[in-house]
Structure 1
Amino acid sequence: MSTPAVKTAAGYIAGLLFGLGLAISGMTDPARVLGFLDIAGAWDPTLMFVLGAAVGTTFVGYRLVFARGTPLFSAKFQLPTKQELDAKLLGGAALFGVGWGLSGYCPGPAIASMGGLTLPLLALLAAMVLGWFIAQRIAR
């Protein structure tokens, strides 16, 4: 049952559900995200409920999935093994936060928003792809 086609279909379905969730929740609207991040100004707390639901769903979901012992479409779970904080992780997190705060998009919502492509979104996507290539070069 764990054929490449089944794994690919499961990935597409998960991505579709993720993108729909981002769109329905308002995470693809940079004005709403920037309003949420503007705690000293016109703060918009609506995304706090989205984040809370995501944390709750993840908390329950991980427990249910790990209770199975093995994943549905793989022989074993692929979990990160690195546990220490280093400069690369902290620097990447800082760049992510700065980019999110300046643009109102993080990578998932940016990709989910490609259907309504605007010049600022295109600039963000180009910078994101450039960042991926730079990160790969640095990691070598």
Structure 2
Amino acid sequence: MSVAETVHATCVVVGEAGLLIRGESGTGKSTLAREMLLHAGREGRFCRLVSDDRTRLAAHHGRLLASAVAPLAGCIEARGTGIVKLPFEETAVIRLVVDLCEDSSRYPGPEDATIILCGVVLPRILSRRGAVLTDLVLGRLSGVCDTVVTL
């Protein structure tokens, strides 16, 4: 039996890897998603919006699947502009979670490196709102920056 829930999050897929971006309203979820789409597209990588604001999560065969809530499919917020329609994918397999918060530690500890959602353990980046993350996230999604060095 799969575990499912709807969460306040945004999701994009880059290549075959889904990115789930979580955070309170105004922390930059939609902005990071749009930056990911722009930069991945410029690199010639497949990239699409999956969901914005409300994301349906479901565990299936040990993987976490994300999809849009029906009325919001293909819609993303552009702060100061409104809702924008974009091409979208119906579902993505989540490979990385980014949690945006008001304040995070300068050097997150090992306990911050993963998170469990719907019973699935996933790698996570914990960062403060407004941090420039696009290159780091794209690197993690392509396996370039998979390790964290602890001194």
Bin for the TM-score computed over the shorter chain:
under 0.3
- Bigger radius of gyration: 1
The higher relative CO (CA closer than 8 Å, separation ≥ 6) is in 1
Where is the strand percentage greater, Structure 1 or Structure 2? 2
Q: TM-score, normalised by structure 2?
A: 0.22
